[in-house]
Structure 1
């Protein structure tokens, strides 16, 4: 567990209570995410679903110091990133499910399950492909700020912390943006678009799921 430039880095095992607060931040920050409606019909469930997704992610990697958070005022975890070194800190694909995983099946659209599974496989395949092309890299899985703290540069502080870490190791960084606004933020920190992938369903006209895959070279390779 450590802190640099006001960013606290720790694992779930280091501080379980703080880890759950980070999950709460993910839930609140992603509740307005435009892709939510594609997988869940009830907006009242969006925050809880993301909180559970973050919770499950930490359960699968309890010893990995993948939590990076910054405070704002009296809020200790006003903005949070889940980020880790790939492949060194990646949870094995064949790892058994740990106890305490929250079942999300009851809150999602049944008709979107096949697309969700396809998306998750695609996410994994793209990281494997990126590793083969760029070597070991720093992966940013989530970056979220509580809505009441938006516009204060907290996300940028976290991104600088993470990109500085990647630069120190001479490593590329990789992430998936979920909308154009986020992609513009990442671009200001040196990320560039690799590909945009869109999923649609005939039963959900006008709705789509979009991911923008982005990479950032280490500073030594930037022009």
Structure 2
């Protein structure tokens, strides 16, 4: 059986609000270059033939081109203007995928995803149609109730990360439906059309950089790579 072409839609729609920073978080430098460049490099390291689609807010596209020139960043990728929500942005990215294939959707500010994790997700999606990277919670979990809160067994829960990889036909069908409030990630969108979700073990290093504390961790991870 011929191997399906592999795509990655890297969604980078962030602002600098929670980061207390003027720059959008995907453009903040870690170890000398923007976070988004580190993320793109991880997917290229996994597969140099991967077809990369980077989704950015319309008003950030020019800044990104300038940053690529400044850093002499030559890894080929297509840029697409995002929507007003993550759902809209992924949908716009999907429009750039031609024909059949496997599509990963990944957060632009998760630059430390391991190549082995990316590979495991594509392999699982080939077999099962979907693959969602997740880790077990380290902390105790409490559920909020009308009376207050109660302890719940953390072994029954997983913390969801990206990439989330799907066969193209499944992801396209999922994104043809109207957006709903409970769509927090691609897995929830795909699950709502009756598809089952396969989990793949992630890594605690695969952090999503959203707050100033995350930047400290990011610099530490980057210097250790």
**Same fold flag (TM > 0.5):** no
More helix by share: 1
Higher relative contact order (CA 8 A, sep 6+): 2
- TM-score between the two structures when normalised by the length of structure 1: 0.29
TM normalised by structure 2 equals 0.29
